[in-house]
Amino acid sequence: MSGPRPDTVSGLLAEIADIGRDPVRGGYSRPVLSGAELSLREWFVAHADKRGLEVTTDRNGVIWAWHTPDGSYADAVVTGSHLDSVPGGGAYDGPLGVASALVAFDRLSAAGVGGRPRAIAVFPEEEGSRFGVACLGSRLLTGAIDPARALALADPGGRTFAEALRAAGATPEHLGPDPEALGRIGTFVELHVEQGRGLIDLGQPVAVGSSILGHGRWRVTLSGAGNHAGTTLMSDRRDPMVAAGALVVGVRRLAREVPEARATVGRLVPTPGGTNVIASRVDLWLDVRHHDDATTLALVERIRQEAELAAAEEGCSAVMAEESFSATVDFDAGLRDELCEVLPGAPVLATGAGHDAGVLKAHVPTAMLFVRNPTGVSHAPDEAVEDVDAEHGALALAHTLEHLA
């Protein structure tokens, strides 16, 4: 039996279904500038070329695929998303928005829609899974991060972003704000899989986004005394792993005390990490989110104090450093309401997940569309989108882009 048609969202996603599969974690691991993510970029560029779009990759590694009816790039209607993933992520977080954009462009071309120039943008390192800062590509584009800081970011193996760019044939020295590229965007609309259960409970395939929860990442380093697991008496230990364990439980307790707050420790790295070795240090990363930014920061401060207490209990020390912070973003109400008119029956949903659209919102009128996820799960292999809903999403995006054009 033949697979899904190549000119459908599910057909396009089927083409990349084997790229970056993670046999250990399940799902997909497609870190930025990895072989898998570079293959996905090639896949996108080939499809853009096939459609006669003008494809460029800018100084920050953002890929732009243009349709310019009269050769102008001004005031463009831009859509797109990302291709990188979290470790063991799902098939849709990012690629759904890119594939839907290609199908929506096909519909607009078939209908002979002209008007404003339009483009698909693919942003690198949206997840921040390799170099630690989320939405790194859109932050560089908009000047939201210092290029020197970005270039010095190192991945878990110690390779810097600059070295990884060079290895991929890019020129790190060119990294930085790109007001010309940013200035071309008149309106940005990102389609994304819903990373929650809102649409399931509302019985709708597509929603219009209203806001993105403020969120940040902090690194906590707990330092103690590395030693031998067999020769060191329990009374003689300063074990940062014990402090880390107490802190992880404390994070949950403190977050539960703040209504609507979310706090997660998803990554914890002992050094040196031997089975028969008492760790000398433990690094753990904190992800804290709340709609009210002051509440987020107050919770982080309480967690910092908890870290110091947990460390002191074990004769260890604790240091916390902010790695990134994104304030809560409310999308343009006018644009949101326009999309609700274009998509009658589409509910309005807030999201707890960050997106490049959240970064661009500070610079251009920005909106989001969400597509139903029957499991409501994301950042895990169980993330899902029904084929029929994926097509609804692409159709909704096409209607939106046509309206805006």
Question: How far apart are CB 379 and Mn ion at their closest, in Å?
Answer: 6
Question: How far apart are CB 152 and ligand HGY at their closest, in Å?
Answer: 21
**Binding residues for ligand HGY (CB under 6 A):** 126-127, 134, 353-354
Question: How far apart are CB 323 and ligand HGY at their closest, in Å?
Answer: 12
Residue closer to Mn ion by CB (options 116, 379) is 379
| Partner in contact with 134, chosen from ligand HGY, Mn ion, none, beta carbon below 5 to 8 Å by kind | ligand HGY
Question: How far apart are CB 32 and Mn ion at their closest, in Å?
Answer: 13
Question: How far apart are CB 378 and ligand HGY at their closest, in Å?
Answer: 7
Q: Is 169 within 8 Å of 179 (Cβ atoms)?
A: no
| Partner in contact with 354, chosen from ligand HGY, Mn ion, none, beta carbon below 5 to 8 Å by kind | ligand HGY
| Partner in contact with 310, chosen from ligand HGY, Mn ion, none, beta carbon below 5 to 8 Å by kind | none
CA distances from 395 to 8, 80, 392, 403 (A): 10, 15, 5, 12
Residue closer to Mn ion by CB (options 98, 284) is 98
Residue closer to ligand HGY by CB (options 198, 354) is 354
Place of tokens 């509440």: 295
d(CA 101, CA 157): 34
Q: Is 363 within 8 Å of 142 (Cβ atoms)?
A: yes
Q: Counting Cβ atoms within 10 Å, is residue 394 exposed (0-12), middle (13-18) or buried (19+)?
A: buried
d(CA 358, CA 368): 9
Residue closer to Mn ion by CB (options 308, 383) is 383
Please list, in sequence order, all residues whose beta carbon lies within 8 angstroms of the beta carbon of residue 130, skipping any fewer than 6 positions away.
Answer: 31, 32, 33, 34, 84, 155, 156, 164
**Binding residues for Mn ion (CB under 5 A):** 93-94
Question: How far apart are CB 326 and ligand HGY at their closest, in Å?
Answer: 9
Residue closer to ligand HGY by CB (options 134, 369) is 134
Q: For residue 3, how many other CB atoms are within 10 A of its CB? A: 10
The encoded tokens of residue 101 equal 């954009």
| Partner in contact with 391, chosen from Mn ion, ligand HGY, none, beta carbon below 5 to 8 Å by kind | none
Residue closer to ligand HGY by CB (options 242, 368) is 368
Q: Taking the CA atoms of the chain, what radius of gyration do you get in angstroms?
A: 22
Q: Is 309 within 8 Å of 251 (Cβ atoms)?
A: no
Residue closer to ligand HGY by CB (options 242, 353) is 353
Beta strands in 272-343 (DSSP E): 277-278, 281-290, 317-326, 329-330
CA 132 to chain centre: 11
Question: How far apart are CB 137 and ligand HGY at their closest, in Å?
Answer: 12
| Partner in contact with 364, chosen from Mn ion, ligand HGY, none, beta carbon below 5 to 8 Å by kind | none
